């Protein structure tokens, strides 16, 4: 069997994204990391407030509670900030518009 009759799948034309431009990419990623630095400061501040409230209300319970609470607050805030920052980066740079939508315009009505 030979593969002579198999035609290659045509690749779609890929439109360039604004992130392909080095200057704009540097600006956009700088904005993202600035947001992450601000959110890291907010995470540390929220952690300090939460630990202060714990200490004020309950005293020194266990060092493990304070460590676990600190880790949980910081990770949850930073994960949320990172994912939302990537959404803002993608949307703000026009990276979303580069994707070709091959769905028919009325695809939701076709499902009914």
pLDDT value, residue 22: 82
Ramachandran class of 21: left when φ > 0, alpha when ψ lies in -120 to 50, beta otherwise:
beta
pLDDT of the chain, 112 residues: tens digit per residue: 555 666 555 556 666 677 777 888 888 889 999 999 999 999 999 999 999 999 999 988 899 999 999 999 999 999 999 999 988 888 777 776 766 666 666 666 555 5
pLDDT value, residue 98: 67
pLDDT value, residue 19: 75
pLDDT value, residue 6: 62
Domain ranges in the chain are 40-95
3-state secondary structure of 69: helix
pTM of the model: 0.68
| Tokens 């994707």, located at residue | 99
pLDDT value, residue 10: 56
- For the stretch 72-85, what's the b/e string if a residue is b when 16 or more beta carbons lie within 10 angstroms of its beta carbon? ebeeebbeebeeeb
110 backbone dihedrals φ, ψ, rounded to 5°? -70, -25
């Amino acid at each position: 069997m030979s593969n002579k009759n198999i035609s290659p799948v045509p690749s779609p034309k890929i439109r360039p994204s604004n992130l392909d431009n080095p200057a704009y990419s540097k600006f956009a990623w700088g904005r993202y990391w600035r947001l992450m630095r601000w959110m890291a400061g907010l995470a540390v501040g929220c952690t300090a407030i939460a630990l202060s409230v714990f200490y004020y209300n309950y005293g020194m319970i266990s060092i493990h509670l304070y460590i676990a609470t600190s880790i949980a607050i910081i990770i949850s805030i930073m994960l949320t900030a990172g994912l939302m920052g990537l959404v803002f980066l993608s949307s703000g740079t026009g990276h979303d518009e580069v994707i070709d939508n091959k769905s028919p315009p009325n695809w939701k009505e076709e499902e009914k």
